[in-house]
Amino acid sequence: MATDIHSSSGQGHGDGHGQGQHRLGKGPSKGGGPGGGPGGALSDAKPVLRKVLLENGALSGLVVLTVVLAAMSPDFLSTQNLLNVGVQAAVTAILAFGVTFVVVAGGIDLSVGSVAALSAIMLGYTSTKEGLPVWLSVLLAVGTGVACGLVSGGLIAYGKLPPFIATLAMLSVGRGLSLVLSEGTPIALPASVATVGETLGGWFPLPLVVLVVMGGITSLVLARTYSGRSMYAIGGNEEAARLSGIRVRRQKLVIYGLSGAFAAVAGIVLASRLASAQPQAATGYELDAIAAVVIGGASLAGGVGKASGTLIGALILAVLRNGLNLLEVSIFWQQVVIGAVIALAVLLDTLRRRA
């Protein structure tokens, strides 16, 4: 008890925390060990434990959710169902990887769902109606996504529009152009594109392969490139980043261009699963993508986020939806539960930043 009292008093000095512990460590401890004995060790371990729990809360939540659903539904852990969960998570995760770049940099992108649909429509329109080679149509589809991202980035970086307004405008423009090009009807895709939504070796879904590749690219960009480091710097303190020599406006173009490219890939994967490009596809997916990023541990204030966390966030949403379907929960109540999860994730994000 005496050791705990001494440790607590050392911690209570605010800025003198380290000095208080240093003074206590000089003399013999009543707990019998260096650094304040068992009580001091426990006191030192608490911040470490808290940090681990905060940083890995999403993974812990995924594990708990999986265990609970496995106990409630015997079909949940079947191989086929787990692969279905992965496929369901693929499009959301790919979208969310692109949104991760934006959120890390302190922005927001509400247009990714519409950009995904527009890119898929461009692929179907150019390959089916115009007869262009598939490889060229795919490049045009990805280029469409990049162009939409660059327009949003330009409005934000040079037009000084808030990210919310700029990307909300692109959401409307992208959806409108999808309806114009398709005349409001689905466009069939070439068989070579539709195979992306099928399986590899007759059992492993190809969308999961695309998911792994895009996740690897996201992790590489964030951890190993100048643009990735710039995203964290801009999200942490934009003015400080500018004063340190980072060309903030140029980097914002890169960031939103990447988000658009990832949205295009997600749109192609979604269209391949449906075997057609549909102008109303991916409606509302931007909210799932943002939710996945936040649930995965990224901060809406910027400066924090990683690819693995985003993947876990997308898996949590997919596992939750799949489990609720297996339990035959009404679709209306599913929306309530998912909304509560998103709200809880934002609350935990706020508490984490305060801690």
Residue 44 clears pLDDT 80, i.e. is over it: no
CA distance 31 to 58: 37
- At 11, the pLDDT band (50, 70, 90 cuts) reads very low
pTM recorded for the entire structure: 0.83
Q: What pLDDT does 352 receive?
A: 65
C-beta neighbour count of 239 within 10 angstroms: 9
- At 53, the pLDDT band (50, 70, 90 cuts) reads low
CA distance 286 to 186: 21
CA distance 332 to 54: 31
Residue 305 clears pLDDT 60, i.e. is over it: yes
Q: What pLDDT does 31 receive?
A: 43
Condensed to tens digits (0 to 9), the pLDDT of residues 100-150 reads 999 999 999 999 999 999 999 999 999 998 989 999 999 999 999 999 999
CA distance 92 to 341: 16
Query: What domains lie within the chain, and their CATH numbers?
Result: 57-354 (1.10.3470)
- At 55, the pLDDT band (50, 70, 90 cuts) reads low
Task: Choose between 63 and 49: higher pLDDT.
Answer: 63
Task: Say which residues have a Cβ less than 8 Å from residue 109's Cβ, sequence separation at least 6.
Answer: 98, 99, 102, 149, 152, 163, 167, 256, 259, 286, 290
Residue 35 clears pLDDT 50, i.e. is over it: no
- At 34, the pLDDT band (50, 70, 90 cuts) reads very low
Task: Say which residues have a Cβ less than 8 Å from residue 68's Cβ, sequence separation at least 6.
Answer: none
CA distance 111 to 168: 6
- At 54, the pLDDT band (50, 70, 90 cuts) reads low
Condensed to tens digits (0 to 9), the pLDDT of residues 81-101 reads 999 999 999 999 999 999 999
- At 194, the pLDDT band (50, 70, 90 cuts) reads confident
Q: Contact at 8 Å (CB) between 192 and 65?
A: no
C-beta neighbour count of 283 within 10 angstroms: 14
Given its phi and psi angles, is residue 36 left (phi above 0), alpha (psi -120 to 50 degrees) or beta? left
Q: What pLDDT does 346 receive?
A: 72
Residue of 286, 305, 313 whose CA lies nearest to 104: 305
Task: Say which residues have a Cβ less than 8 Å from residue 342's Cβ, sequence separation at least 6.
Answer: 287, 291, 294, 295
Q: Contact at 8 Å (CB) between 295 and 118?
A: no
Average pLDDT rounded to a whole number, residues 320-332: 92
